[in-house]
Amino acid sequence: MRKLVETGFLAAQPPRRGARGAKEIPYLSTGLSWTLDSCGDKGVEQAVLEAYLAEIAETGFDGVHQTRLVVQVAPEERAELESRLEDLLEEFRARPRRPGAERTAIYLATYPST
């Protein structure tokens, strides 16, 4: 927890008393964006997907817009496609926060299609 607070992913809330009188400190997500290079670790890749699915289950499908698109690119173009997508997402992430703006989460995966 300490590391998540230090890195800005969680924010401590005011302390409260638990059911047995113990001091509890609740934490809330700050909504900080992240990118993870799993280095091919299947367990990490599975955990990322499961975290996304849990977030969608918690949110509900009312506000979810899903798109699946298959494109044909040469192997040397795939890196360009992924880089341009990452650049676009980074451009929006870097924009200053504005009052009244709604937070929008994006989960993006590229994978071979058969």
pLDDT of residue 27: 85
Asked whether residue 4 carries a pLDDT value surpassing 80, the answer given is no
3 within some domain: yes
pLDDT of residue 20: 86
pLDDT of residue 6: 80
Q: What integer is the mean pLDDT of 4-23?
A: 84
DSSP 3-state helix, strand, coil percentages of the chain (rounded to 5)? 40, 10, 55
Asked whether residue 91 carries a pLDDT value surpassing 90, the answer given is yes
User: What domain count does the chain have?
Assistant: 1
73 within some domain: no
Residue positions counted in the chain? 114
Asked whether residue 70 carries a pLDDT value surpassing 90, the answer given is yes
Q: What is the mean pLDDT of the chain?
A: 85
24 within some domain: yes
pLDDT of residue 80: 94
100: which 2 tokens? 């009244």
Q: Which tens digits make up the pLDDT trace of 19-43?
A: 888 898 888 877 776 666 778 778 8
Q: Which tens digits make up the pLDDT trace of 43-68?
A: 878 887 888 888 888 778 888 888 88
Q: Rounded distance, CA 89 to CA 86, Å?
A: 5
15 within some domain: yes
10 within some domain: yes
**Parent domain of 28:** 1-32
Higher-confidence residue of 92 and 32: namely 92
pLDDT of residue 49: 84
38 within some domain: no
Q: Is 9 exposed, middle or buried, given 0-12, 13-18 or 19+ CB atoms closer than 10 A? A: middle
17 within some domain: yes
